[in-house]
Amino acid sequence: MKGFTQIFTVSAMNLRNLPQRLGASSVAVFGVACVVGVFIGVLSMASGFQRTMISAGSPDTAILMRSGATSEMSSGLGFEEIQVATQLPQVRRDAGEPVASAELYVIVDIPKRGTDNSSNVPLRGVEDGAFEVRDGIEIIEGRRFETGRNELIVGRAAQQQFAGLDVGNTIRFGQMEWDVVGVFSDRGGLSESELWTDVRVLQSAYRRGNSFQSLRVKLASEDALEALQAEVAGNPQLDMDVQRETDYLSDQAEPLSKFIKGVGYPLAMLMALGAVFGAINTMYASVSARTREIATLRAIGFGAFPVAFSTLLESLILALIGGVLGAVVVYLIFNGYTVSTINSTSFSQVVFDFAVTGDLLVQGIIAAVFIGLVGGFFPAVRAARLPVATALRET
């Protein structure tokens, strides 16, 4: 019991004295805040990108593309193949009609809002089935495009990020004019970066004949995928790969999220290392500033452990303040911050928000605690081992 009282007394005294060492302490706090900030910032970019890519996929949707195609961009399907594939028994039917959408995927050059940087914006031609295959689509402004007309609906994110996509506008791609008639949302998913129109109109505008690039179908049930894959593989008329939409989307997201994480984690580790050195320095300074105080405490009967503990606690608290500070600042600045980048797998722009998730905040705080503990350890040992007699005479 006496031990606890000692620990409590020494720690409380030490913390009350903190303001006297404000300069050195704030260096440690600031260092940790920067580390935690950069760490959370970079990873929130990766998590936001991943969320956008994956969230709208649904496990009972399958995507069919040409065998070996790595993305819709590099796929091509004929009308006959589409006809055969949609009639397969594993495809869900609604009032006798297969729930499916054969789609065309091209890119158009539109400047980013407020700049003249051209961007590869995806333009997707869809069939009416697209709105049933993707269950999250909602028109949030205007109306759907009409079949057979040069009308576009634009994803919410695309509308915010790229110029001239407001409802009522007319935009020109090459020789053709398109009316923007609506804005849609897709639960924050990838489609929100796209422009949509009627696939038949797009085929003739891009002189694609009667060809498509991908076919999305609803599966009769979630576990019908293997059966569908076997059916397609066994049919000599079909030269296609079948993937679950969620798997396809996470494959598409992989290279870029890997890249961001591949840069982000080593970066954060290095910065953490730098902050550890900074923290050790601060804590040594703190111990040496308190040399006489510690020696006095030891001389009047306080144990070595409470003294060491108080140093460790000081370091931990400084790091925690820094960690929380960094996390809060990053959350306020970056959460929901919208950026767009080119996704090399589809050669087109993806608009996404930074997602500062609770998970990342916790990881950031854990990193701060780690820095605090490592940074406080050796100085704490030194504080415990101070030779009382000589230390009392120190200046």
Partner 1 sequence: MKYFYFIWKNLGRKKLRTWLTVMSIVVAFILFGALGSLNAAFTQGAEIAGADRLITIHKVSLIQSLPYSYVNRVRNTEGVEAVTFANWLGGYYQDPKNQFAQFAVEADSYFEMYSDLLSLPEEQMQAWKKNRIGAVIGTSLAERFDWEVGDRVPVTSMFPQENGNRTWEFEVEGIFSAEGSGADSGSLLFHYEYFDEARQWDKGTVGWLMIKVSDPQNAGEVADRIDAMFANSPAETKTSTEKAFMESFMKQFGDIGTITGLILAAVFFTMLLVTANTMAQAVRERIPEMAILKTLGFTDRSVLIMILAEAILLALIGGLIGLGLAWLMIGAAASQVEAFLPGFAMPAEVWINGLVAIVVLGLLSGAIPAIQGMRLNIVTALGRR
Q: Does residue 27 interact with partner 1 by CB under 8 A?
A: yes
Q: Does residue 356 interact with partner 1 by CB under 8 A?
A: no
Q: Smallest distance from the beta carbon of 69 to partner 1, in angstroms?
A: 7
DSSP string, 214-225: EEEEEBSSGGGH
Q: Does residue 117 interact with partner 1 by CB under 8 A?
A: yes
Write the CA distances from 281 to 294, 374, 376, integer angstroms: 18, 12, 9
Angle of helix 358-385 relative to helix 245-289, nearest 10 degrees?
30
* Sole window of 125-133, 142-150, 229-237, 278-286 interacting with partner 1 (rule: CB under 8 A): 278-286
CA atoms within 13 A on the CB side of 74: 11
Site string for partner 1, 94-113 (x = CB under 8 A): ------------xxxx----
Q: Does residue 325 interact with partner 1 by CB under 8 A?
A: no
Out of 9, 30, 93, 261, name the contact with partner 1 by CB under 8 A: 30
* Sole window of 128-136, 187-195, 274-282, 300-308 interacting with partner 1 (rule: CB under 8 A): 274-282
Q: Does residue 364 interact with partner 1 by CB under 8 A?
A: no
Residue 311 · residue 319 · CB < 8 Å = no
Which of 173, 196 has the CB closer to partner 1? 173
42-71 residues in contact with partner 1 (CB under 8 A) are: 42, 66, 68-70
SS (H, E, C) 44-67: HHHHHHHHHHHHCCCCCEEEEEEC
CA atoms within 13 A on the CB side of 94: 8
Beta bridge partner(s), residue 139? 184
249-268 residues in contact with partner 1 (CB under 8 A) are: 263, 267
Q: Smallest distance from the beta carbon of 237 to partner 1, in angstroms?
A: 12
Q: Which two tokens stand for residue 359?
A: 């998970």
Out of 243, 281, 357, 363, name the contact with partner 1 by CB under 8 A: 281
CA atoms within 13 A on the CB side of 302: 27
Rounded Cα–Cα distance for residues 335 and 51 (Å): 13
Q: Does residue 189 interact with partner 1 by CB under 8 A?
A: no
Out of 38, 64, 85, 104, name the contact with partner 1 by CB under 8 A: 38
Q: Smallest distance from the beta carbon of 197 to partner 1, in angstroms?
A: 14
Rounded Cα–Cα distance for residues 326 and 281 (Å): 20
Cα 293 to chain centroid distance, Å, stands at 49
Give the count of residues interacting with partner 1 (CB under 8 A). Answer: 53
Count how many residues are written for the chain.
395
Residue 84 · residue 239 · CB < 8 Å = no
* Sole window of 11-19, 25-33, 181-189, 218-226 interacting with partner 1 (rule: CB under 8 A): 25-33
123-182 residues in contact with partner 1 (CB under 8 A) are: 173-175
Q: Smallest distance from the beta carbon of 175 to partner 1, in angstroms?
A: 6
Give the three-class secondary structure for 90: coil
Cα angle 239-245-250, degrees, rounded to a multiple of 5: 110
Rounded Cα–Cα distance for residues 74 and 66 (Å): 8
Out of 73, 320, 369, 392, name the contact with partner 1 by CB under 8 A: 73
Amino acid in position 14: N
Q: What are phi and psi of 199, to 5 degrees?
A: -65, -35
Which of 55, 281 has the CB closer to partner 1? 281
Q: Does residue 20 interact with partner 1 by CB under 8 A?
A: no
Q: Does residue 274 interact with partner 1 by CB under 8 A?
A: yes
**Binding residues vs partner 1 (CB under 8 A):** 23-24, 26-27, 30-31, 34-35, 37-38, 42, 66, 68-70, 73-76, 106-109, 117-120, 173-175, 206, 263, 267, 270-271, 273-275, 277-278, 280-282, 284-285, 339-342, 344, 347, 349, 395
